[in-house]
């Protein structure tokens, strides 16, 4: 192990953390050698079941079948709220920090209970029942978590759509999940700017005749259009409701939520998670990975529109009876000190964010950080994309004052919870490595022939045994689930990531090996951006690749071929950018559009993305073999054009 890059477990964590190295090893061993015993013990200690399971798991990765805690019954909202009331009714469950630093709110477990019950009653009054799908298109306000938990209380399936998605993207998701109820807000507020959520919803709902109820939280009081009979103010619906609501008895394998995520082909997939296994892994990882201890103030900066917000703002922390901070704004508003000020204001002990935010804040300079105390911090976390060692070191030294270990957590929408991650009291850290597997996770690296790489080496990252938080299906299309995750390497779950394992058994994620981009930690299919670009009637063809970007990790680079006779222009570029924003949202806006008179294709007509990636990254020395192209001259044309960017 190279000592220079090794950050050993701090002494006080070795002594005080729930899990030290010996315990990690013993628990990991048990988790893979006697999974039934291990998971049964964890499920009993972390969750409250209304009826015990009859079998721990019945999973078969060859068939893409996964099931945990068979016949067990529990309710997620009871586990996240009701069972805590005897001891924690007056403890803060959610600290809400507004976009405006002057606005905050402290919601106790009792208040959370009452709010969730009122909304549960209101939803039931609007006809929502177990198994129905409810779309949540919300800003980061407490009502977003009330909505998720109210669905869980009913046994309805929520589909949270990130507030940055466009009306078009929202429409697709509402239609795909066949939602009949949408919960939104008049407007969101981020960095002082208003986000027209109700207006976007109206546009989407023009194409969703089955939506009979749209519930609107009044956040800003901005102007909104109203359709009588369909639109209801949240406040009006919940005001008269009782603060008690029966919780549905839910099977461990009943769905909890659908969350859309991008793949290498086609439209985003509705990843479906179920109840018992998901909640267990979210709760367990929240406790062990952050060494969460009673009384800690915990802050994850994600948005509830992403899986990180589901597992680590709402479900994991609340299942553990923690105090979770929910932040409406952005890390740079009013200025780049905001996160550190919020940490001091609320005494945050555990802070979990994304490398893209770390890099942006690092770029703003140390003064924004060092003028704050941050003395309350004890553990830092990173998620969503590889963290470059430079950003890691800055996060460690400047933000954490060389005192707080960084948990670099690798996982995916599909995995439900952390998969590769250090534990603060057990695992020495190496900047840039997500380190070792969490309990029950059996990662393998497969080579081009599908053989397991032994010892140190590199390959496609797969998982060879089912885990509780695993994706169960793609909503409405199980075959797509099987094709995407289980057919590349039969018997394994294929992550879509490449990874390297070093001599110490540490994993280093090398990035996606498919056509999925990771832009500022947001997952984006190149095919989605291409489909948006070719909607323009002047565009004949488009090819989108990622390229290294200092802040975003990856930027979006689009090669666009115009129809014969059409001329490139700045005006047209603007139209194309606007089109992508309209179809998907601002997060998908290409950073660079290059006009491409032709694209490098094989003789069978397949675009050689490898070459496009190299040109975009300006790695012109390593283009590789271009002789098999139908028209090798195209490459030089693209390179010459690139120079003119
Ligand atoms: O490529 C990996 C990257 O993000 C992908 C999953 O994206 P998503 O489903 O949106 O979930 C993001 C939040 C869990 C992965 O396939 N990724 C996520 N975490 C890391 C990471 N890459 C490297 N290091 C990480 N810690």
Give the tens place of pLDDT for each residue, 505-530. Answer: 999 999 999 999 999 999 999 999 99
Question: What is the SS3 assignment for 496-513?
Answer: EEEEEECCCCCEEEEEEC
Whether 505 is in a domain gets the answer no
Residues 560, 487 share a domain: no
Give the tens place of pLDDT for each residue, 119-134. Answer: 999 999 999 999 999 9
Instruction: For residue 297, give Cα distances in angstroms to 115, 136, 308, 572.
Output: 22, 26, 17, 49
Tokens 């094989």, located at residue? 602
Q: What CA–CA distance (Å, rounded) separates 305 from 260?
A: 9
Whether 508 is in a domain gets the answer no
Q: How many domains does the chain have?
A: 2
| Other C-beta atoms lying within 10 Å of the C-beta of residue 380 | 23
Q: What CA–CA distance (Å, rounded) separates 94 from 107?
A: 5
Annotated binding site: 190-193, 308, 384-386, 408-413, 497, 512, 520, 523, 534, 536, 539
Q: What CA–CA distance (Å, rounded) separates 382 from 352?
A: 6
CATH code of residue 558: 3.30.300.30
To test the pocket of ligand 1, the residue of 412, 414, 436, 506 to mutate (highest count of ligand atoms within 8 Å of its CB) is 412
Domain boundary among 470, 500, 530: 500
Per-residue pLDDT at 643 exceeds 80: no
pLDDT (mean) for 213-241: 98
Per-residue pLDDT at 409 exceeds 60: yes
How confident is the prediction for the chain on average, in pLDDT?
96
Atom of ligand 1 lying closest to residue 413 CA: 9
Give the tens place of pLDDT for each residue, 208-221. Answer: 999 999 999 999 99
Indicate the pLDDT class of residue 2, thresholds 50, 70 and 90.
very low
Residues 380, 346 share a domain: yes
Nearest CA to ligand 1 atom 13: 384
Q: What is the pLDDT of residue 221?
A: 98
Of 380-384, 425-429, 495-499, 638-642, which gets the smallest average pLDDT?
638-642
Per-residue pLDDT at 1 exceeds 50: no
Q: What is the pLDDT of residue 645?
A: 59
Reported ipTM: the value is 0.99
Give the tens place of pLDDT for each residue, 301-359. Answer: 999 999 999 999 999 999 999 999 999 999 999 999 999 999 999 999 999 999 999 99
pLDDT (mean) for 608-617: 94
pLDDT (mean) for 403-412: 98
Range of the domain at 609: 520-641
CB 474 within 8 A of CB 486: no
CATH code of residue 423: 3.40.50.12780
Residues 527, 450 share a domain: no
Q: What is the pLDDT of residue 593?
A: 97
Domain boundary among 430, 465, 500: 500
Q: What is the DSSP letter of 376?
A: T
Residues 320, 199 share a domain: yes
CA of 277 to the centre of ligand 1 (A): 20
Whether 607 is in a domain gets the answer yes
Domain boundary among 452, 468, 500: 500
Q: Find out whether the beta carbon of 413 lies less than 6 Å from any atom of ligand 1.
A: yes
């Amino acid at each position: 192990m190279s000592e220079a890059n090794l950050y050993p477990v701090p002494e006080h964590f070795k002594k005080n953390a729930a899990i030290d190295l010996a315990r990690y090893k013993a628990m990991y061993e048990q988790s893979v050698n006697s999974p039934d015993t291990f998971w049964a013990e964890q499920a009993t200690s972390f969750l409250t079941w209304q009826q015990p399971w009859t079998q721990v798991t019945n999973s078969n990765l060859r068939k893409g079948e996964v099931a945990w805690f068979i016949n067990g019954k529990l309710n997620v909202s009871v586990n996240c709220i009701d069972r805590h009331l005897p001891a924690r009714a007056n403890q803060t469950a959610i600290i809400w920090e507004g976009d405006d630093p002057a606005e905050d709110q402290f919601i106790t477990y009792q208040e959370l209970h009452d709010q969730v019950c009122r909304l549960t009653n209101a939803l039931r009054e609007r006809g929502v029942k177990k198994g129905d799908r409810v779309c949540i298109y919300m800003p980061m306000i407490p009502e977003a978590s009330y909505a998720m938990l109210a669905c869980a209380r009913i046994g309805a399936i929520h589909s949270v759509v990130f507030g940055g998605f466009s009306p078009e993207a929202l429409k697709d998701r509402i239609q795909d999940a066949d939602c009949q109820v949408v919960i939104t807000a008049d407007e969101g507020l981020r960095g002082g700017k208003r986000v027209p959520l109700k207006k976007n919803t109206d546009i989407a709902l023009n194409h969703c005749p089955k939506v009979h109820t749209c519930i609107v939280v009044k956040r800003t009081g901005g102007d909104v259009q109203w359709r009588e009979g369909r639109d209801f103010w949240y406040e009006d619906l919940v005001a008269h409701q009782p603060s008690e609501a029966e919780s549905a008895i839910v099977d461990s394998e009943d769905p909890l939520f659908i969350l859309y995520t991008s793949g290498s082909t086609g439209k985003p997939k509705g990843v479906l998670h179920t109840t018992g296994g998901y909640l267990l892994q979210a709760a367990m990882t929240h406790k062990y990975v952050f060494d969460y201890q009673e009384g800690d103030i915990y802050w994850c900066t994600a948005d509830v529109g992403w899986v990180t917000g589901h597992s680590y703002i709402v479900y994991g922390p609340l299942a553990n009876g923690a105090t979770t901070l929910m932040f409406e704004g952005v890390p740079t508003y009013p200025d780049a000190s905001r996160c550190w000020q919020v940490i001091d204001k609320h005494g945050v002990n555990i802070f979990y964010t994304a490398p893209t935010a770390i890099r942006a804040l690092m770029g703003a300079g140390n003064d924004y950080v060092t003028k704050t105390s941050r003395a309350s911090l004890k553990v830092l976390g990173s998620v969503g994309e590889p963290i470059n060692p430079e950003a890691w070191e800055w996060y460690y030294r400047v933000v954490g004052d060389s005192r707080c270990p960084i948990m670099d957590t690798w996982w995916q929408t599909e995995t439900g919870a952390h998969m590769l991650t250090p534990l603060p009291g057990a695992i020495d850290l190496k900047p840039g490595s997500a380190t070792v597997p969490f309990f029950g996770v059996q990662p393998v690296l497969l080579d081009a022939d599908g053989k397991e790489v032994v010892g140190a080496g590199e390959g496609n990252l797969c998982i060879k045994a089912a885990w509780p938080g695993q994706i169960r299906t793609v909503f409405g299309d199980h075959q797509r689930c099987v094709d995407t995750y289980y057919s590349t390497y039969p018997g394994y779950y294929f992550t879509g990531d490449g990874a390297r394992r070093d001599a110490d058994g540490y994993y280093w994620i090398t990035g996606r090996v498919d056509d999925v981009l990771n832009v500022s930690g947001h997952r984006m299919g190149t095919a989605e951006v291409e489909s948006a670009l070719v909607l323009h009637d002047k565009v004949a063809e488009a090819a989108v690749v990622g390229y290294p970007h200092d802040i975003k990790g990856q930027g979006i680079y689009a090669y666009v071929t115009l129809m014969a006779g059409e001329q490139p222009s700045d005006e047209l570029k603007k139209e194309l950018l606007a089109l992508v924003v309209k179809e998907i949202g601002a997060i998908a806006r290409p950073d660079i559009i290059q006009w491409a008179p032709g694209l490098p294709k094989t003789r069978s007509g397949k675009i050689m993305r490898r070459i496009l990636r190299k040109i975009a990254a300006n790695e012109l020395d390593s283009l590789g073999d271009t002789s098999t192209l139908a028209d090798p001259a195209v490459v030089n044309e693209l390179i010459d054009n690139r120079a003119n960017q």
